[in-house]
Structure 1
Amino acid sequence: MNNHDEKQASKWGRMQAKMKRLAKKRWMLPALYLGLSAVVLTTFLWMTSTTDLTDEQRDSEFDIENIGGHQEQGSPEELADENTGNTGNTEDPQAEEEEAVPVVAQDEVFELPVMDENEVAVVGTFHDYEASVEEQETALVRYNNYFYQNKGIDLAKEDGEAFDVTASMSGTIVKAEEDALFGQVVHVEHDEDILSIYQSLNELKVEVGQTVKQGDVLGEAGRNLYNQDAGIHTHFEIRKDGVPVNPIDFVDQGISALPNVSAEEADEQLEPESLPDPEEDTEDSENDEDPADKEDPKEDPEKDPELDS
């Protein structure tokens, strides 16, 4: 063994001796454990941060739509529509307005438009073509020496006092104004082309565009020029596609119970606050007059030639 090998062996022996002395120290093993733990933890954190950075860089490299710092998101079809100005919204604005009408609760049914049904009576009935002649006669309203068919029902108190008129069903106010003939009127839309109509009101409590719930007060019963014989009352109608139905038949029933309406029926109906031309009724009655009731000039004694002679 030469001198170099002897020196290496001597260093290795001294190192082993030092390690044996350090191993005998009580703090040696805990210090070694903590040191190794620190190294492992540092390595783990470094690797995690490097992975996240790599993912972000990878996303940036493959995002070909990211031009000038503006990142486009969405499917190719959506991006194409956006570039051509087509946002994909093809809904009609009018359809959106119609959808804005409050949806009536599934279990909500029509009610008489009063706080307490026991406090009022029906003083005017709905004119039904299938009813008896006597019932049809009682369902006529006399105005200006003409008789008109009642398109709804009239409610009044026996003592003739005013009472609160309420919404028969939840909906949106689409008309609330003064009418020279029918008094103050309110129309409530419950669904597409389904209205409840309230006439002969006083002191309106609502306005157009307002949402009302079933039972909300719309105004008070009052008088109008059209049906003066009813005194203080309210006129109540239910219409589908403009065609009136008998409200009594649909109290305690929902919207789905209303009958279907043909286009011909809808076209024949007038607006709620309008009356048919009385001259048309007069012409019809004249055409129906019995010819035997007309005066025969030959039977007139004053025009008999024999008497003149």
Structure 2
Amino acid sequence: MKKRKLKLKPYVLPSLYVLSALLLVTGVYFYGNREVAKPAEDIDYVSDEINGYTVPVIATEQTIMTPYSDTSVTVARDFYDYQSDASLQESALVSYDGVYMQNSGIDYSAANPFAVLAVLDGTVIEVEDTELFGKSVTIQHDNNLISTYQGLTDVKVSKDDKVFQGQTIATSGTSVISQSLGNHVHFELYLNGTVLNPNLAIGKTLKELTTE
């Protein structure tokens, strides 16, 4: 039996070329339209440790906290509020050397020394030791908010240190101007250079403070 050579009809070869071209184009189309992983949304990450403390890796909006966590701490002398009644105003006066002054912050006290905490993330801009107020720490926060802590002992931070909310910056102590209070910390807040009643700020975010 003779072997017969298979001959393709003239129209078969062009058809094969067309089919191959279609397959190639279709493959390129599906490859080009594959769903790719989208990059993650922009998130502020913190990669450094601050003074040996581990900080959260994702930034979150913070609310202003009290400068302590010890449950035995109480208010020894409140902020002087011009809108409060006369008896409350009288208890918020600071008496020193025969002179009475309105209390520009809140004095927190306890029977035993307690840890003094940074109320928000920030940068230490001043560490002082004066005759009247004792050792003090001032921290600059975002949105031009400044917090000051006075009458301290065992200060654990230095100028230009980065601190995070809740970090222990010192221990409570005493001061000459408020010696009658015993163990305490004097706490002040300033927003855009103006003294702020801490009672109206604690528990709020910086955004809430600056939009009020």
Aligned to 2:155: 204
Give the one of 106, 114, 122 matched to 2:68: 114
Paired residue type of 2:61: D
RMSD: 1.6
Pair 147,260 (structure 1): closer, same or farther in 2 beyond 3 Å: farther
Considering Cα pairs closer than 8 Å and 6+ residues apart, tell me whether 1 or 2 has the greater RCO. 2
Pair 260,237 (structure 1): closer, same or farther in 2 beyond 3 Å: farther
Aligned to 2:182: 231
Q: Which has the higher helix share?
A: 1
Aligned to 1:176: 127
Give the one of 179, 199, 206 matched to 1:255: 206
Q: Which has the higher strand share?
A: 2
Q: 2:73·2:109 contact (CA, 8 Å) conserved in 1?
A: yes
Aligned to 1:214: 165
The alpha-carbon deviation at position 108 of structure 1 amounts to 0.2
Pair 112,145 (structure 1): closer, same or farther in 2 beyond 3 Å: same
Inter-partner Cα distance in structure 2 for 1:260 and 1:144: 40
Say which SS state the counterpart of residue 141 (structure 2) adopts: strand
Runs of 4+ in 1 over 3 A off after TM superposition: none
Structure 1 residues without counterparts, runs of 5 or longer:
1-104, 262-309
Say which SS state the counterpart of residue 200 (structure 1) adopts: strand
Inter-partner Cα distance in structure 1 for 2:176 and 2:117: 22
Paired residue type of 1:111: M
Aligned to 2:88: 135
Aligned to 1:240: 191
The alpha-carbon deviation at position 259 of structure 1 amounts to 5.4
The alpha-carbon deviation at position 161 of structure 1 amounts to 1.3
Query: In the alignment, does 2:129 pair up with 1:155?
Result: no
Paired residue type of 1:221: S
- The normalised TM-score by structure 2 is 0.69
Identity percentage over the alignment?
A: 33
Pair 226,260 (structure 1): closer, same or farther in 2 beyond 3 Å: farther
Give the one of 72, 78, 81 matched to 1:125: 78
